[in-house]
Amino acid sequence: MESILLSALVFSPLVGILVLAFMPNTEERLLKTVGLLATLLPLAFAIITYVGFTPGNVNIQFVEQYRWIDFQIKGLPNGGDFTINYDLGVNGLTVVLLLLTAIVSTLAAAASVWIKEHWKGYFMLFLLLEIGMLGVFASQNLLLFFIFFEITLIPTFFLIGKWGYIDKEKAAYSFLVYNGLGSAILLIVFIILYMKTGTMNYTGLSSFLHQPPEVLEQMYIGDEFRFGLLIALLVALGVKLPIVPLHTWMLKVHVQAPPSIVMIHSGILLKIGAYGVYQFGIGFFPEEFRQIAFWIALLGVINLLYGAFIAFVQVDFKRVLAYSSVSHMGIVLIGLASLNGAGMQGAMFQVVSHGLISALLFFLVGLIYERTGTSLITHLGGMAKVMPITAGFLLVGGLASLGLPGMSGFVSEFMAFLGLFKEMPVLAAVGTLGIILTAVYILRAVLGMTFGETKESLLQLKEPRFVEWLPALILTALIVLIGVYPAVLSDILQLTINAMMAGKGAVV
Amino acid sequence: MSSVPLSVYLVLALILFCIGLFGALTKRNAVIVLISIELMLNAVNINLVAFAKYGINPGITGQIFSLFTITVAAAEAAVGLAILIALYRNRKTVNVDEMDIMKH
Amino acid sequence: MNPLIWIIPVLPLLSFVLLLLFGRRLKEASAHVGALLTLGSLVLSIVVLLNQWGGEPVKETLSWLTFGETTLSAGYLVNPLNALMLVIVSLVSFLVQVYSGGYMHDDDRFPIFFAYLGLFTFAMLGLVLSPNLLQLYVFWELVGVGSFLLIGYYFYKREARSAAKKAFIMTRIGDVGLFIGMILLFWQVGSFEFDEIFAAVEAGEISEGWITLTAILIFVGAIGKSGQFPLHTWLPDAMEGPTPVSALIHAATMVAAGVYLVAAMFPLFQASEAALTTVAVVGGFTAIFAATIGLAQADIKRVLAYSTVSQLGYMMLALGSSGYVAGVFHLTTHAFFKALLFLAAGSVIHAVHTQNIHEMGGLWKKMKWTAPLFLIGAMAISGVPGLSGFFSKDEILAATYADGRFGLFWIAVIAAFLTAFYMFRLFFLVFTGESRGIQEKVKESPVSMTFPMIVLGILALIGGLINTPFATYLSDFLAQNEALEIHHHETRWWIPVVATGVSLLGILMAWLVYVKKKVTRFSESAPDLHYILLNKYFIDETYDYSFVKGTRALSYFWYYIDRFVVEGLVGLVTGIVGWFSKIGSRFQNGQVQLYSSVAFAGMAILLLVVAWIGGYLT
């Protein structure tokens, strides 16, 4: 109860915001440096949390719980006294996600060197966004989750709308409308849950909702009611994930937002959807989830194939990556829907792995765009001749994305399919078509950009300096580390997942 | 001495208010609109005074209140006219139809 | 036993990492780094092989990944088959690296080339050492990447790009089969470990149907990697890579990995007659199918590539006919003579700067070392008695016959005839007669290139002696593996006679056609057939029109669905909302008087409603 580590972690970007607030608007180098340094603080806290976390302990750790809001509504069956706590804590999954968030944020801040104007506002919003993301993963109750979730929306809206490419306003509105609707549904579900159960704490809710159906029936939480809540949750989080056909906003964002924000967006923000499905969908309604697991797996396979097919004919590399994200999120759904140890772990691996891989690829997009002013595959070509290192990283990123063994993508893909083959072999067999298609579209895009005759417009290009591709190197190293020795993740994840599987939810 | 019944005051106030309302909603000249608003306020004043004298709980409150209203109305008319003059200097018109830039 | 086994694959990996990091500074020295580290692997591999002789299999694992109640492990396993493969892989890799030091001399991306070779060798050695299917799959894909990178080494060439892409995708189609098979097997057995799978098969824990299904799926993986019909088209295209790469990857090692996979999983295949038949039929068909295409090709490397496909088919045929030893034996000898042929071909290309055999000719006198070595390779592959190919091919024919597959037996005999014919067609066109091109200064290649060829030439000459009908060393060695039931079939005396007969007949035919010109070339006598063969039965075109174009069409279909239907629906929703707000915005014309009229009317209505609800109106 005494530890304030998590609060320090979540709110540490505030330091950066305050410092930036007192700085002049015009000092480009200084602002960028401070912006980057400010992300190191949460990174340090995240590493401390990760190191201090005890993997062998199923319980939620670093708990912080304070009374926060008290209010009374008269005439309700449970007496009408309500208390909402300020509730932070981490389990094996969220500690990994926190670290991932901090790492990707730091690297995205490094990628922000390509921002051309209004650096002060940019970095302040950026750091605010980081607070939101860290908070989402650190909170242990619905209200706090929701608040932090909303905090992520607003800075993202401005970051896309102000610093993006040509059609940025449209993308920003698209983002806000879709996610606003999603979070409205989410809010309704949360409030209903709260009014019915009287608690906002994840653990409390889990244990409440895991009571026998007859007991719940007496409290007016019947079967159909729970199904309704689950479906509403899936829709709300499905927008974020995104599940086809709720994905169109995400394409616009991936194409129009600046690369550093897409790194964050694709790397972390989409993962909130996956995390939510896991934490709320499966955590609160395991039985109901099991009953519709087939449909979720089907949606996953549709996502996987749909994204892969469309990515095959895109001319803009950013769009290829956007559809590839749709496709890869299908793997998360597949893994979750299989509801066994392998599949769930595969889904969580995919969350982490895709976070790193898409961050890497979008970083490279930024690097290339900065030099060539384009991300169209047809305008690039033969880049390997003038920028061999960049091309090499692009190839590595592509191979990681298509699930090459030895890199993190393979482990997640393998485990997700391993899980699904146990439960629904036929559907899984259809899904494996996606493995081939992924190879097809990734190679088409990556080889189209790097191999072949060098375009004349590219001949003047120079290889970026070491510091410029350092973030790519770090990401590659992490991807390879997880791929070669997945136990670094699985050791910390599996107890949490096993506990979830046993339907208990962890005990504070 | 039979006094004038309350309802007559109220009918007077109603007529005044309606005239004021009609003027405020239809006149094109902003000065007339301001005057119409004053008319409506005065209708209210009549009501206040009438109720203060003949209401269920007679007392002095209504009269004091109407004094306040008159003061505030005077201040309001002053501010309104000042804005109007400023507008007139800028746009060379007092026609309310042309004062629609608030919609943007 | 030997704690240093894991060093074997790590040395080439080290070479990869070192060359990637410091290659630019090492420049020419990269070749030495790569070759020396691989030499280390070779020496250790030989030690391991010698230790295996009469020794026990070695297996060590450590935990790799845990989920639920299951722990997957990684480690290494050495049994006779693996030990043999270790030596083959590290030997050929070492020789190829020495050779490349000469062949790639002028290339400015020299260090990267050796780095890639190191990566490939690492992956291949790791594949061979894998104690379980999952680890095998991991390295299986990694060798694919090594191959992909090296095929695309001349990345600026359009053909190299498509060839690399094609190789990766075609093999991946096969890999998915292996992937599914592996997972299904896991859920049947509960483990990926070879020994546990075999134990479960032995104990009859898996039903016949599952065994057949998983075995065939695993075989699909082998089809992709070993270039068997119908996934063979990538292998000839892979010749876009540098020639030493073709020798190492696309002749001796990686393509043989499919054969190795079937051999390593042999107890599973043995348990299902249907699976064995599939293997045999696919192998036999590929053997003759590719041999016929090889007859008509004009590119020296493509002839050799189709020959490789055909010989791999032979090995599959052997395994499918329960000829475990025959398959592995042919794999070994083929590695020697085919690597030799490719290196010799590379030496020729190095000298004349063309790959078209119709522009060569008369090189016998100009290339004193290459020409005889090529002849040895050609004789070995044709099955001239006494050379290595003779014994192994003989073994395959005997196994096929003993297994009762007479149809396939005769197909194999015809394929042997075709092999002899096209190999000597190649030999005569390249080395005899008059020079048909403009090659003025043809020089013999440097020692760094001839030395590896000589080593391989010696092995191609005498390699067959490890398993002759009189001394079955290899067979006894492989039989140490207890999981296998190795059939000893008696050799019928007439089979070697027939085999020798057809191969000599093939050589004679080639001599008559291309040297004596007594018989018209069949491009003139049967132009239509020649046209079909030259175009490889139009398989590529068929795939292009069906799968490639089909996928593209489907992609566009979904893309337009996404663009117009999904986005259209979204547009419809926003459109409706927009329409409403447009109507609403008419009231917002900036006229205060309108606003207040509306407000007043609203209040009046509200009052009416309140009055009506309150009952004041009645």
ipTM for the complex shown: 0.90
Evaluate if residue C1 carries a pLDDT over 60: no
Lowest mean pLDDT among A69-83, A433-447, C422-436, C596-610: A69-83
- What distance lies between CA C547 and its chain's CA centroid? 21
| C-beta atoms of C137 and A452 within 8 A | no
C559 vs A: CB within 8 A: yes
- For residues B50 and B6, the answer to whether their CB atoms sit within 8 Å is yes
CA-angle at C47, arms to C45 and C48, nearest 5°: 65
CA distance C547 to chain B (A): 57
Find, among C561, C342, C451, C370, the residue nearest to C101 by Cα: C451
Alpha helix positions (H), A12-91: 13-21, 28-52
Closest residue in C to B97 (Cα) is: C591
CA distance B26 to chain C (A): 7
- For residues B66 and B48, the answer to whether their CB atoms sit within 8 Å is yes
Find, among C388, C448, C592, C365, the residue nearest to C97 by Cα: C448
Predicted pLDDT of residue C3? 66
- For residues C523 and C530, the answer to whether their CB atoms sit within 8 Å is yes
All residues of chain C having their beta carbon less than 8 Å from the beta carbon of residue A425 are 184
> How many other β-carbons are positioned within 10 Å of the β-carbon of residue C1?
13
Tell me the C-alpha distance between A91 and A57, whole Å: 9
Find, among A175, A178, A303, the residue nearest to C558 by Cα: A303
All residues of chain C having their beta carbon less than 8 Å from the beta carbon of residue A435 are 172, 175-176, 179
> How many other β-carbons are positioned within 10 Å of the β-carbon of residue C472?
17
Tell me the C-alpha distance between A244 and A235, whole Å: 11
Tell me the C-alpha distance between C301 and C236, whole Å: 8
Round to the nearest angstrom and report the end-to-end CA distance of chain A: 10
Name the band, by pLDDT with cuts 50, 70 and 90, for residue C26. Answer: confident
Q: CB within 8 A of C562, min separation 6: which ones?
A: A248, A306, A310
Bond before A471 cis per omega within 30 degrees: no
The percent helix, strand, coil of chain A (3-state, each to 5) is 75, 5, 20
Once rounded to an integer, what is the mean pLDDT over residues C475-480?
A: 78
Give per-residue pLDDT as tens, A169-228. Answer: 888 988 998 999 999 999 999 988 888 888 888 888 888 888 888 888 877 778 888 889
Tell me the C-alpha distance between B84 and B79, whole Å: 8
Evaluate if residue A507 carries a pLDDT over 60: no
Tell me the C-alpha distance between A303 and A310, whole Å: 11
Predicted pLDDT of residue A321? 92
Bridge pairing between strands C70-78 and C58-67: antiparallel
Closest residue in B to C596 (Cα) is: B25
A350, A438, A443, A458: best to mutate for the C interface, most C CBs within 10 A: A443
CA distance C592 to chain B (A): 8
Predicted pLDDT of residue A504? 45
- Give the residue carrying structure tokens 């104990």: C203
| C-beta atoms of C558 and A309 within 8 A | yes
Give per-residue pLDDT as tens, A124-161. Answer: 999 999 999 999 999 998 999 999 999 999 999 999 98
The β-bridge partners of A84 are A69
Give per-residue pLDDT as tens, C28-78. Answer: 788 888 888 888 888 888 888 888 887 778 888 888 888 877 888 888 888
Tell me the C-alpha distance between C165 and C160, whole Å: 8
Alpha helix positions (H), chain B: 6-26, 30-54, 61-91
Once rounded to an integer, what is the mean pLDDT over residues A34-63?
A: 88
CA distance A450 to chain C (A): 8
Once rounded to an integer, what is the mean pLDDT over residues C460-479?
A: 78
User: What does pLDDT average to in each consecutive run of 10 residues of chain B (104 residues)?
Assistant: 80 94 90 91 92 85 91 92 90 81 64
Tell me the C-alpha distance between C253 and C242, whole Å: 16
Evaluate if residue C434 carries a pLDDT over 80: no
Tell me the C-alpha distance between A428 and C188, whole Å: 16
CA distance B2 to chain C (A): 30
**Average pLDDT across chain C, whole number:** 85
DSSP, collapsed to helix, strand or coil, labels residue C9 as helix
Tell me the C-alpha distance between C369 and C347, whole Å: 10
Dihedral in degrees, nearest 10, Cα atoms A170, A176, A181, A182: 120
DSSP, collapsed to helix, strand or coil, labels residue B47 as helix
CA distance B49 to chain C (A): 24
- For residues C275 and C215, the answer to whether their CB atoms sit within 8 Å is yes
Q: Which long-range contacts (CB under 8 A, 24 or more apart) does B43-47 make?
A: B43/B13, B43/B14, B43/B16, B43/B17, B44/B13, B44/B17, B44/B69, B45/B69, B45/B70, B46/B9, B46/B12, B46/B13, B46/B16, B47/B9, B47/B10, B47/B13
Give per-residue pLDDT as tens, A346-357. Answer: 999 999 999 999
**Average pLDDT across chain A, whole number:** 87
Give per-residue pLDDT as tens, C385-424. Answer: 888 888 888 888 888 888 888 888 888 888 888 898 888 8
In the structure encoding, which two tokens stand for residue A269, read together?
Answer: 């923000």
Alpha helix positions (H), C57-157: 80-103, 110-129, 133-151
DSSP-derived secondary structure letter, A220: T
**Amino acid found at C167:** A
Chains with 3 or more CB pairs under 8 A to chain B = C
DSSP, collapsed to helix, strand or coil, labels residue C479 as coil
All residues of chain C having their beta carbon less than 8 Å from the beta carbon of residue B33 are 593
| C-beta atoms of A418 and C566 within 8 A | no
Closest residue in B to C585 (Cα) is: B103
In the structure encoding, which two tokens stand for residue C609, read together?
Answer: 């409603």
Evaluate if residue A506 carries a pLDDT over 50: no
Predicted pLDDT of residue B14? 94
Integer-rounded Cα Rg, in Å, for chain C is: 31
- For residues A237 and A278, the answer to whether their CB atoms sit within 8 Å is no
C585, C591, C603: best to mutate for the B interface, most B CBs within 10 A: C591
Once rounded to an integer, what is the mean pLDDT over residues A235-246?
A: 88
A167, A178, A427, A447: best to mutate for the C interface, most C CBs within 10 A: A447
**Amino acid found at C242:** P
CA distance B71 to chain C (A): 24
- Chains A, C: CB pairs < 8 Å: 133
B6-93, CATH topology level: Helix Hairpins (1.10.287)
Nearest by CB: C168 against A432, A443, A454: A443
All residues of chain B having their beta carbon less than 8 Å from the beta carbon of residue C591 are 96-97, 100
Evaluate if residue C320 carries a pLDDT over 60: yes
DSSP assignment string, C57-74: -EEEEEEEEEETTEEEEE
Q: CB within 8 A of A17, min separation 6: which ones?
A: A38, A124, A127, A128
All residues of chain C having their beta carbon less than 8 Å from the beta carbon of residue B103 are 588-590
> How many other β-carbons are positioned within 10 Å of the β-carbon of residue A50?
16
Chains with 3 or more CB pairs under 8 A to chain A = C
Nearest by CB: B103 against C589, C593, C597: C589
Closest residue in B to C591 (Cα) is: B100
Predicted pLDDT of residue A508? 32
| C-beta atoms of A443 and C187 within 8 A | no
> How many other β-carbons are positioned within 10 Å of the β-carbon of residue C54?
10
CA-angle at C240, arms to C239 and C246, nearest 5°: 40
Nearest by CB: C64 against A406, A433, A487: A487
Predicted pLDDT of residue C468? 75
The secondary structure element, H or E, covering residue A89 is strand A81-90
Give per-residue pLDDT as tens, A56-66. Answer: 777 888 888 88
Nearest by CB: A443 against C155, C165, C183: C165
Name the band, by pLDDT with cuts 50, 70 and 90, for residue A117. Answer: confident
Tell me the C-alpha distance between B91 and C1, whole Å: 101
C556 vs A: CB within 8 A: yes
Predicted pLDDT of residue C273? 87
C520 vs B: CB within 8 A: no
| C-beta atoms of C593 and B103 within 8 A | no
Tell me the C-alpha distance between A56 and C65, whole Å: 16
All residues of chain A having their beta carbon less than 8 Å from the beta carbon of residue C13 are none
Predicted pLDDT of residue C256? 87
Evaluate if residue C476 carries a pLDDT over 80: no
C587, C592, C595, C596: best to mutate for the B interface, most B CBs within 10 A: C592
| C-beta atoms of C152 and A451 within 8 A | yes
Tell me the C-alpha distance between C382 and C384, whole Å: 6
Predicted pLDDT of residue A1? 46
Maximum average pLDDT range among A103-107, A281-285, C10-14: A103-107
The interface residues of chain C toward chain A in range 359-378, judged by CB-CB distance below 8 A, are none
Per-domain residue ranges of chain B: 6-93
- For residues A89 and A508, the answer to whether their CB atoms sit within 8 Å is yes
Q: CB within 8 A of C548, min separation 6: which ones?
A: none
Name the band, by pLDDT with cuts 50, 70 and 90, for residue A2. Answer: low
In the structure encoding, which two tokens stand for residue A265, read together?
Answer: 């967006």
Find, among C164, C230, C172, C171, the residue nearest to C537 by Cα: C230
Evaluate if residue C489 carries a pLDDT over 80: no
Find, among C367, C377, C170, C138, the residue nearest to C255 by Cα: C170
Integer-rounded Cα Rg, in Å, for chain A is: 22
Q: CB within 8 A of A265, min separation 6: which ones?
A: A156, A253, A254, A257
Give per-residue pLDDT as tens, A286-307. Answer: 888 888 889 999 999 999 999 9
A294 vs C: CB within 8 A: no
